């Protein structure tokens, strides 16, 4: 089949740089036949424009649900979420479609799910640009320039079946970037790649971020990816449980004043443990005075000290 050179969408507005993301007490509940499932139970999170961040955490902790909300695929049950100037819980289904078409690019897990196998890479990118051209009236880069950005310059005529796994994942990134989004959401981009494929994908995302200022959020189980992106937010039980920045691990105070204990500490001080709390200067000291099973005046075994 001959593939025609893609026609370039034309517009007035240049693509925006990265957008900020803010979640405030974000809650999501899935109603099911056997009862409600609380997937997010109060996420407080701020991501600055142009930041790169990993969402990590155990299976079922709520990462995909959070990303689906940020991508305009789900509306939250409660709380607020801003992506750039948009408050997502207030958007109509048309508004959410516009957000998906022009402001947020989502790359699903499994590169092939993002790409049509029977057309070229250029055509794939061009097709993904159509909604943005229509909705935002924005000037878009030619597909070749977007492929170039992810290290696939000169590969526009190829099809997904001809690519290596690393190239395929970068083609999926190009698809997500087609409309020049301010926020790129990427689900498990390295899970099927070897170390060199992973390096290629991380380098491509870094290039996008450096050249376009795009805010990039990556869901990953790969600790190395979290470390390389510089900021890794751990989602635990539907909320922000911890955060790693530049090799250091931090507990995070949520909007309601709670802090999650790290799992190993939680095991030693289970739910219901009573603590005395002392606060002085930049330090908070928690001294366990009773375990859940004790009467209250029996001292438990430890002290936790946090300094800021
Ligand atoms: N469509 C749905 N209907 C009902 N419950 C759901 C639905 N999607 C997710 N859940 C539940 O919501 C919770 C959070 O799931 P989610 O997929 O967001 O977690 P995750 O951290 O992305 O997990 P994984 O790493 O395995 O992809 C889990 O208890 C899950 O079973």
pTM of the model: 0.88
62 lines ligand 1 (CB under 6 A): yes
> Atom 28 in ligand 1: which residue has the minimum CA distance?
60
The pLDDT, as a whole number, for residue 16 is 55
Work out the pLDDT band at 116, boundaries 50, 70, 90. Answer: very high
Domains in the chain, CATH or no CATH each: 21-236 (3.40.50.300), 261-308 (no CATH)
**Mean pLDDT lowest for which of 30-34, 62-66, 102-106, 304-308?**
304-308
- % of the chain surpassing 70 pLDDT: 89
Let me know the angle formed at the C-alpha of 238 by 90 and 38, rounded to the nearest 5 degrees: 75
Residue with CA closest to ligand 1 atom 1: 30
Asked if residue 241 has its Cβ within 6 Å of ligand 1, the reply is no
ipTM of the complex: 0.98
Band the pLDDT of 289: cuts 50, 70, 90: confident
pLDDT in tens, 194-249: 999 999 999 999 999 999 999 999 999 988 898 899 899 999 999 999 999 988 98
Which pLDDT band, with edges at 50, 70 and 90, does 102 fall under? confident
Beta carbon of 59 within 6 Å of any ligand 1 atom? yes
Ligand 1 center to 64 CA (angstroms)? 7
Q: Judging by DSSP bridges, how do beta strands 78-83 and 21-32 pair with one another?
A: antiparallel
CB-based contacts of 242: which residues, under 8 Å, 6+ apart? 233, 234, 236, 249, 250, 251, 252, 260, 262
Give bridge partners of residue 83 from the DSSP assignment. 21, 86
Q: Is the CB of 220 under 6 A from ligand 1?
A: no
Q: How many Å lie between the centroid of ligand 1 and the Cα of residue 35?
A: 14
The band of 290, judged by pLDDT with boundaries at 50, 70 and 90, is confident
Residue 2, pLDDT above cutoff 90: no
Q: Residue 264: which pLDDT band, with cuts at 50, 70 and 90?
A: confident
Asked if residue 273 has its Cβ within 6 Å of ligand 1, the reply is no
CA of 14 to the centre of ligand 1 (A): 37
The finding on whether 63 has its CB within 6 A of some atom of ligand 1 is: yes
Q: At residue 44, does pLDDT exceed 50?
A: yes
Ligand 1 atom 25: residue of nearest CA: 59
Check pLDDT > 60 for residue 307. Answer: no
């Amino acid at each position: 089949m001959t593939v025609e050179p893609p026609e370039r969408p034309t517009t007035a507005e240049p693509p925006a740089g990265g957008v900020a993301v803010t979640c405030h007490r974000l809650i999501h509940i899935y109603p099911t036949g056997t009862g409600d499932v609380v997937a997010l139970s109060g996420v407080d999170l701020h991501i600055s424009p142009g930041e790169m961040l990993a969402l990590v955490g155990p299976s079922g902790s709520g990462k995909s649900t959070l990303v689906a909300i940020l991508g305009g695929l789900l509306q939250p049950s409660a709380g607020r979420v801003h992506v750039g100037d948009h408050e997502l819980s207030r958007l109509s289904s048309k508004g959410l479609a516009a957000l998906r078409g022009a402001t947020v690019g989502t790359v699903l897990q499994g590169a092939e799910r993002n790409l049509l196998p029977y057309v070229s890479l250029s055509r794939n990118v061009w097709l993904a640009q159509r909604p943005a051209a229509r909705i935002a009236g924005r000037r878009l880069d030619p597909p070749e320039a977007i492929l170039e950005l992810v290290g696939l310059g000169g590969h526009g005529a190829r099809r997904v079946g001809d690519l290596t796994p690393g190239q395929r994942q970068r083609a999926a990134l190009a698809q997500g970037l087609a409309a020049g989004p301010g926020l790129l959401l990427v689900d498990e981009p390295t899970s099927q790649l070897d170390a060199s494929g992973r390096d290629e994908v991380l380098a491509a995302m870094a290039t996008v971020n450096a050249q376009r200022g795009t805010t990039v959020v990556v869901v990953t189980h790969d600790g190395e990816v979290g470390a390389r992106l510089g900021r890794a937010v751990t989602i635990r039980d539907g909320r922000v449980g911890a955060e790693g920045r530049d090799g250091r691990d931090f507990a995070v105070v949520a909007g309601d004043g709670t802090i999650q204990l790290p799992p190993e500490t939680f095991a030693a001080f289970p739910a219901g443990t009573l603590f005395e709390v002392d606060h002085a200067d930049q330090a908070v000291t928690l001294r366990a005075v009773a375990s859940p099973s004790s009467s209250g005046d029996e001292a438990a075994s430890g002290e936790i000290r946090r300094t800021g």
